[in-house]
Structure 1
Amino acid sequence: MRAPAPAYAANDGIIDSAGAVLGAALLSSLDAVGEVALHVDRVSLVETMVALRDTPGLEYQQLMEIAGVDYPDREDRFEVVYCLLSLTRNHRIRVHVQTDEEKPVPSVTGIWPVAGWLEREVYDMYGVLFEGNPDLRRILTDYGFRGHPQRKDFPLSGFVELRYSEEAKRVVYEPVKLAQDFRTFDFTSPWEGAEYILPGDEKAALPEAKGAPTPLKADEIVKADAAKSEATAPPPKPKTTESPAQTGAGKAEPDATPKPAAPDLVKAPRKPRAKPAASGDAPSKPRTRKKPDTNNG
């Protein structure tokens, strides 16, 4: 195995080929951080997807994902992103369309049936309508859920809360009651970078370590190893000990004797060991104690 992950084909010529095929349906294109994004007209989405799938040199046969993005400051606040994969060329692109709460997006279930569930998810989370979807219902939230959770103006606490009622012996919905509501919203994406600077952000110009979070954009991120600290200048003169005065030890006395390791501890002299008996001498017999005579008187 030459690489831990498969190497995808290069992006060279993809935008030119797509522009020649799509024509006026291609509104804009972008090649950034190794990914190609095509912004197309919403009305001609189905024809665009068929062209990207069937045109030789493009051949994006598989729909991998449909995602939604919310930009509340835009006129068309919602952006639907289609992630396509070319199996024959091993290449990926993104197709973007813009819409609002009322204008429906043409469904691509006739091209890829898997889009049915993916479009239901975007509808459930953002409220985007898909024209032509045979079963456009909520898929992640409950039947009585109000609102769309992934919208930027959706309250963090929600509108209702669910709990089990001992009185009713069933699950009930009740309005959320909080002492303090979340009233401020920040619509700026952290990946695009905020215009203001929070305390401590000045230290995050580069990642602190490998894997550390950074406020920089994807095309501005530099590896942590690239940020090397300035090398410290060497000391003017290396430290040496050439004399006893530099080491801190005084001169030895003429009649100096080895001092014990602990001045307060003096070892007792060892007792001489008994000499073993010579080989010619008979070993001495041990003396036995004479027992008293108990037979007399």
Structure 2
Amino acid sequence: MTDATPPVEHTHAEILRTNLRALSEKIEAGLGAAFLSAKLAFDELSVTVDSAKWIESLTYLRDNGFVSFIDLTAVDFPAREKRFDVVVHLLDPAANLRIRVKTAADDINPLPSAVNVWPAANWYEREAYDMYGVLFADHPDLRRMLTDYGFDGHPLRKDFPLTGYVEVRYDDESKRVVYEPVKLNQEFRSFDFLSPWESATHTLPGDEKATKS
């Protein structure tokens, strides 16, 4: 009588990584030339696709399980020619898998809107436009949504001043909202982020005990 080899038990993390690697290979084969790269880190799969085939790539993913649109945002890299990464997070509820899809964009050439793929992308694209200045072609209503209509600039760009360009107040004399250049009564302060104990330079009673061996 021989001892049976005990079955190998895989952890949830190992199973997830295996599934994501298989998913990455499937997406690469399905997207073809639109697929640029994939990275698996921290048990999350990030796929980068060609911006010229942005909608084709998203449509393929939607038609292959990723029917749930979670989020769309942007990341700013001012030194790059295409300074933005437009990032979409998707969920395949049947397989319980999530992916991150990225493509490069600039602030001049519009990226095709994903509203016809997922209607929920509408507000998220408006937010990316408002905060970063990313343009989306064929968007049904690309207006600002978080800043005022007369706002100058895009707040989350790394080249946008913390103070902004103008400030808004209600003028009692003209009975309307007016825009004026920013006037700071107090400049930004510099903090050392040290606790009172770390920044103290004087000796307190009992400190000599801490130096004894």
* TM above 0.5: yes
- Are the structure 2 counterparts of residues 181 and 79 from structure 1 closer, same or farther at C-alpha, using a change threshold of 3 Å? farther
Partner in structure 1 of residue 119 of structure 2: 113
- After superposition, residues 175-194 of structure 1 pair within 5 angstroms as 175-178=181-184
1:82 aligns with 2:88: yes
For the Cα contact (< 8 Å) 2:88–2:102, is it kept in 1? yes
1:136 aligns with 2:145: no
SS of aligned partner of 1:112? coil
For the Cα contact (< 8 Å) 2:62–2:117, is it kept in 1? no
CA distance in 2, matches of 1:54, 1:171: 48
Aligned length: 177
Q: Which structure shows the bigger proportion of residues in helix conformation?
A: 2
- What is the aligned-residue RMSD (CA, Å)? 2.3
Partner in structure 2 of residue 54 of structure 1: 63
Partner in structure 2 of residue 68 of structure 1: 74
| Deviations 1:181-213 (CA, angstroms, capped at 9, x unpaired) | 88xxxxxxxxxxxxxxx999xxxxxxxxxxxxx
1:23 aligns with 2:32: yes
Partner of residue 124 from structure 1, selected from 116, 119, 130: 130
For the Cα contact (< 8 Å) 2:165–2:181, is it kept in 1? yes
- After superposition, residues 1-297 of structure 1 pair within 5 angstroms as 9=16, 10-55=19-64, 59-178=65-184
| Deviations 1:91-118 (CA, angstroms, capped at 9, x unpaired) | 1001001011111111111111111111
Offset at residue 14 of structure 1 (A): 1.3
CA distance in 2, matches of 1:161, 1:199: 29
Partner in structure 1 of residue 5 of structure 2: none
CA distance in 1, matches of 2:87, 2:162: 24
Unaligned runs of 5+ in 2: 1-11, 195-213
Offset at residue 46 of structure 1 (A): 1.0
CA distance in 1, matches of 2:40, 2:79: 24
TM-score of the pair, normalised by structure 1: 0.56
> What percentage of aligned pairs have identical amino acids?
50
Unaligned runs of 5+ in 1: 1-5, 183-197, 201-297
Offset at residue 178 of structure 1 (A): 4.0
Offset at residue 164 of structure 1 (A): 2.0
CA distance in 2, matches of 1:157, 1:77: 22
- Are the structure 2 counterparts of residues 168 and 129 from structure 1 closer, same or farther at C-alpha, using a change threshold of 3 Å? same
Offset at residue 43 of structure 1 (A): 1.2
- Greater length-normalized contact order (CA 8 Å, ≥ 6 residues apart): 2
Q: Which stretches of structure 1, 4 residues or longer, exceed 3 Å deviation after superposition?
A: 6-10, 178-182
- Are the structure 2 counterparts of residues 133 and 199 from structure 1 closer, same or farther at C-alpha, using a change threshold of 3 Å? closer
SS of aligned partner of 1:153? coil
Q: Which has the larger radius of gyration?
A: 1
CA distance in 1, matches of 2:29, 2:39: 15
Q: Give, as a single letter, the amino acid of the residue that structure 2 aligns with 1:129.
A: L
Offset at residue 171 of structure 1 (A): 2.1
TM-score of the pair, normalised by structure 2: 0.77
Q: Which structure shows the bigger proportion of residues in strand conformation?
A: 2
